């Protein structure tokens, strides 16, 4: 005999109430929050709270990308993590993106830096490699069980930044992208529907902001949130070196949009004023 409907409803309500009373913090926190409450020091630190291990992924491990390195948090007590793949720019080896690996993974992300098939690959090819590497990470990699396949992102420098925009256009399910000094022949990214942080450099003479980062940012009419971080006294190659400003805003962007972690909103909104390292910051001021 089925229990009366009223009893079922009452039991469900009681269970939910007890869960809230028993753990109010969990009830308020988003389900994907990982790690302790952030501070300015923690988002600027060289390492976050998670211990990190790395795995070398050799060529021919899976279709669609060449080879790379996975950096992952060793903690399995807090559930799965979001994942981000990162590809460098024209003529650049994977090692130019290596600093992002432990820096981001130690904050609670599975990160894979990529060696492109060719250092000459065009941006759209780099987009496909980043997406193929995400598929590998979530389906057959050694860390697949550590990753939430619904919370993925890409980043890249220069032609890898242009590739990041193309990747989001091709795969709207991406939760965040961070093009770094992006370069692409396409100016119109109005089809992108992913929260996008564009990092640009005020002295970039390779991907000049007037013909790249600025029109890219302005075209992002469908991105639910977007930001434009113009680094001060910085050239095209700034993103290949450890950079506290890039790290702080990248971590905050990934936390806010891959993890829906509003504890990081404080670093994004209100936007930062111009400073020694920030020439300009434009955004849609996410809540
Ligand atoms: O990835 C990049 O640094 C793109 C800038 C570039 O040199 O393009 C020239 C074809």
Catalytic residue among 124, 204, 259, 261: 204
Mutate to test the pocket of ligand 1, among 116, 122, 207 (most ligand atoms within 8 A of CB): 207
Q: Which helix (H) or strand (E) holds 166?
A: helix 159-170
How many CB atoms are closer than 10 A to CB 119? 14
pLDDT in tens, 8-31: 444 444 444 434 444 444 446 799
Whether 21 maps to a domain, the answer reads no
Structure-token match 């950096």, residue found: 71
How many angstroms does the Cα of residue 90 sit away from the middle of ligand 1?
5
CA 42 – CA 175 distance, rounded (Å):
23
pLDDT in tens, 243-259: 999 999 999 999 999 99
pLDDT in tens, 192-212: 999 999 999 999 999 999 999
Q: Which residue is closest in CA terms to ligand 1's atom 8?
A: 90
Q: What is the pLDDT of residue 242?
A: 98
Q: Quick one: what percent of the chain has pLDDT higher than 70?
A: 90
How does the average pLDDT of the chain come out, rounded? 92
Tokens of 220: 């992002």
Q: Per-residue b/e over 264-279, b at no fewer than 16 CB within 10 Å?
A: beebbbebbeeeebbb
Structure-token match 């993925």, residue found: 152
Q: What is the pLDDT of residue 4?
A: 53
Contact 117, 87 (CB under 8 A): no
Q: What is the pLDDT of residue 91?
A: 98
Whether 16 maps to a domain, the answer reads no
Whether 59 maps to a domain, the answer reads yes
Query: Does residue 164 have an active-site annotation?
Result: no
pLDDT in tens, 54-69: 999 999 999 999 999 9
Whether 216 maps to a domain, the answer reads yes
CATH number of the domain that residue 254 is part of: 3.40.50.1820
pLDDT band for position 1 (50/70/90)?
A: very low
Q: Quick one: angle between helices 159-170 and 123-139, nearest 10?
A: 60
Q: Which helix (H) or strand (E) holds 82?
A: strand 81-87
* β-bridge partners, 81: 147
CA 262 – CA 230 distance, rounded (Å):
23
Catalytic residue among 164, 236, 252, 261: 236
pLDDT band for position 173 (50/70/90)?
A: very high
Contact 177, 196 (CB under 8 A): yes
Structure-token match 């890898």, residue found: 160
Number of domains present in the structure of the chain:
1
pLDDT in tens, 109-161: 999 999 999 999 999 999 999 999 999 999 999 999 999 999 999 999 999 99
Q: Which domain holds residue 81?
A: 31-283
Higher pLDDT, 10 or 33: 33
Contact 153, 178 (CB under 8 A): yes
Whether 93 maps to a domain, the answer reads yes
Q: What is the pLDDT of residue 286?
A: 66
Report the candidate in 46, 70, 204 with the shortest Cα–Cα distance to residue 133: 70
Q: What is the pLDDT of residue 275?
A: 98
Query: Does residue 42 have an active-site annotation?
Result: no
How many angstroms does the Cα of residue 16 sit away from the middle of ligand 1?
55
Q: What is the pLDDT of residue 28?
A: 61
Structure-token match 């009830």, residue found: 27
Whether 85 maps to a domain, the answer reads yes
DSSP states of 90-114? TT--GGGGTTHHHHHHTTTEEEEEE
Q: What is the position in ligand 1's atom list of the atom closest to the CA of 161?
A: 1
Helix (H, G, I), strand (E, B) or coil at 25: helix
DSSP states of 106-148? TTTEEEEEEE-S-TT--HHHHHHHHHHHHHHHHHTSTTGGGEE
How many angstroms does the Cα of residue 283 sit away from the middle of ligand 1?
26
How many angstroms does the Cα of residue 181 sit away from the middle of ligand 1?
10
In this prediction, residues 46-54 reach a mean pLDDT of 98
Query: Does residue 204 have an active-site annotation?
Result: yes
Contact 265, 287 (CB under 8 A): yes
C-alpha dist (Å) from residue 14 to 5, 10, 18, 26, 251:
14, 6, 6, 17, 38
User: Any residues with Cβ below 6 Å from ligand 1, and which?
Assistant: 89-90, 158-159, 183, 206-207
Whether 1 maps to a domain, the answer reads no
- Write down the pTM of the prediction: 0.91
Q: What is the position in ligand 1's atom list of the atom closest to the CA of 183?
A: 4
Whether 9 maps to a domain, the answer reads no
Q: Per-residue b/e over 144-177, b at no fewer than 16 CB within 10 Å?
A: eebbbeebbbbbbbbbbbbbbbbbbbebeebbbb
pLDDT in tens, 210-224: 999 999 999 999 999
How many angstroms does the Cα of residue 29 sit away from the middle of ligand 1?
42
Tokens of 96: 């130019």
């Amino acid at each position: 005999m089925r229990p009366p409907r009223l009893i079922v409803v009452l039991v469900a309500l009681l269970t939910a109430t007890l869960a809230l009373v028993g753990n109010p913090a969990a009830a308020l926190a988003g389900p994907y929050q990982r790690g302790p409450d952030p501070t300015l020091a923690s988002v600027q630190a060289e390492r976050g709270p998670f211990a990190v291990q790395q795995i070398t992924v050799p060529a021919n491990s899976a279709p669609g990308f060449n080879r790379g390195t996975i950096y992952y948090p060793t903690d399995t007590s807090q559930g799965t993590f979001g994942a981000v793949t990162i590809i460098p720019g024209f003529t650049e080896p994977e090692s130019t993106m290596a600093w992002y690996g432990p820096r981001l993974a130690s904050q609670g992300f599975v990160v894979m830096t990529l060696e492109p098939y060719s250092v000459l690959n065009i941006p759209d090819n780099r987009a496909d490699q980043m997406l193929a590497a995400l598929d590998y990470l979530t389906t057959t990699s050694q860390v697949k069980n550590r990753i939430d396949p619904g919370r993925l992102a890409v980043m890249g420098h220069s032609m890898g930044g242009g590739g990041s925009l193309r990747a989001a256009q091709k795969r709207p399910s991406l939760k965040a992208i961070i093009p770094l000094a992006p370069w692409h022949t396409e100016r119109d990214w109005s089809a992108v529907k992913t929260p996008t942080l564009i990092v640009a450099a005020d002295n970039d003479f390779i991907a000049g902001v007037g013909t790249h980062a600025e029109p890219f940012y302005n075209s992002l009419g469908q991105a639910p949130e977007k930001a434009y971080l113009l680094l001060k006294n910085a050239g095209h190659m700034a993103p290949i070196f450890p950079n506290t400003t890039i790290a702080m805003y990248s971590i905050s962007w990934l936390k806010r949009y891959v993890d829906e972690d509003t504890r990081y909103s404080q670093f994004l909104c209100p936007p930062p004023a111009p400073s020694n390292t920030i020439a300009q910051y434009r955004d849609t001021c996410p809540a």
